[in-house]
């Protein structure tokens, strides 16, 4: 049986189907999502494990190490937010909201899902 012939136009139309991420955003969105989860998990550990251990058990090790790691990873998160915002042409208020989501425990997970769905829908 013969293979169906596809042209470059057919391939481009398939890659631009609704619900898919365009190639110019695919890598930036993936990097943002990975760091959003990493920063979110670090902040949850710091807030709900490290700080209580520091206050009640007088054990500073978790808060110290996770806090330092979260701080550096948050800086990388900010760079990735700005990269994704530049590629997706976000307004300044959305950039500020997504950037601040990395500072509030558990909010980063919800904002990551919202950003992913909204970015895909807008493209």
pLDDT in tens, 11-37: 454 455 556 778 888 999 999 999 999
Rounded Cα gap, residues 103 and 82, in angstroms: 16
Tally Cβ neighbours within 10 Å of residue 33: 16
- Is the pLDDT at 43 greater than 80? The verdict is yes
pTM assigned to the model: 0.80
Residue range 75-123, pLDDT digits in tens: 999 999 999 999 999 999 999 999 999 899 999 999 999 999 998 888 7
Between helix 107-122 and helix 61-88 the angle, nearest 10°, is: 10
Instruction: Give the pLDDT band of residue 3 (cuts 50, 70, 90).
Output: low
Contact assessment for residue 45 and residue 66, using Cβ atoms and an 8 Å cutoff: yes
């Amino acid at each position: 049986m013969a293979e169906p012939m596809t042209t470059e136009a057919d391939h481009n139309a398939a890659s631009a189907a609704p619900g898919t991420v365009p190639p110019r955003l695919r890598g930036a969105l993936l990097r943002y999502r990975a760091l959003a989860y990493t920063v979110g998990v670090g902040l949850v550990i710091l807030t709900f494990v490290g700080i209580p251990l520091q206050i009640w058990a007088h054990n500073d090790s978790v808060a110290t190490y996770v806090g330092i790691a979260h701080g550096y990873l948050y800086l990388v998160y900010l760079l990735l937010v700005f990269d994704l915002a530049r590629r997706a042409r976000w307004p300044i208020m959305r950039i500020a909201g997504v950037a601040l989501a990395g500072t509030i425990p558990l909010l980063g997970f919800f904002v990551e899902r919202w950003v992913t769905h909204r970015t895909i829908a807008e493209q």
